Amino acid sequence: MPLISHLNAIKPYVTRDGSLIFELMHPLLHGNKNQSLAQAIVEPGQRTVLHRHHKSEELYHITAGEGEMTLAEETFRVQAGDTVCIPPGNAHCIANCGERPLHMLCMCSPPYSHEDTELL
């Protein structure tokens, strides 16, 4: 039996970094094993809290909007179509510097957990 979730059936929540999250696929909710996939939305003028994950490698794939990404000691622009790899232990945050919501897919392996997220 395939594991399927649909965006319209997902109740969003605000995660520890301050972004609005739609948990598209997560082991605690859907039964998959090794990774999680979420859609995050950062509103214009907003920024997520600088944080790091000690165990998870994270990928951000920007699907709409534009922003400024801070990763470790670097800050750079991102836009729709860009994918950023965030190695475990690296401090990161993203700011929406555009005029419309910044949408991104966030993939974590091992899966995202609040316990693995340290706010800085």
Q: What is the pLDDT of residues 79-116, one digit of tens each?
A: 999 999 999 999 999 999 999 999 999 999 999 998 99
In a domain, 79, yes or no: yes
pTM: 0.92
Look up the CATH number of the domain holding residue 31: 2.60.120.10
**Residue 58: C-alpha distances to residues 1, 52, 62 (Å):** 27, 10, 13
Both tokens of residue 91? 């401090």
Each residue of 30-48: pLDDT tens digit?
Answer: 889 999 999 999 999 999 9
- Report phi then psi at 31, rounded to 5: 95, 0
In a domain, 6, yes or no: no
In a domain, 4, yes or no: no
In a domain, 105, yes or no: yes
In a domain, 88, yes or no: yes
In a domain, 1, yes or no: no
| Confidence (pLDDT) at 1 | 55
Number of H helices, E strands in the chain: 1, 11
Amino acid at residue number 4: I
Number of domains in the chain: 1
Q: Is the pLDDT of residue 5 over 90?
A: no
Domain interval for residue 60: 12-119
| Confidence (pLDDT) at 50 | 96
In a domain, 64, yes or no: yes
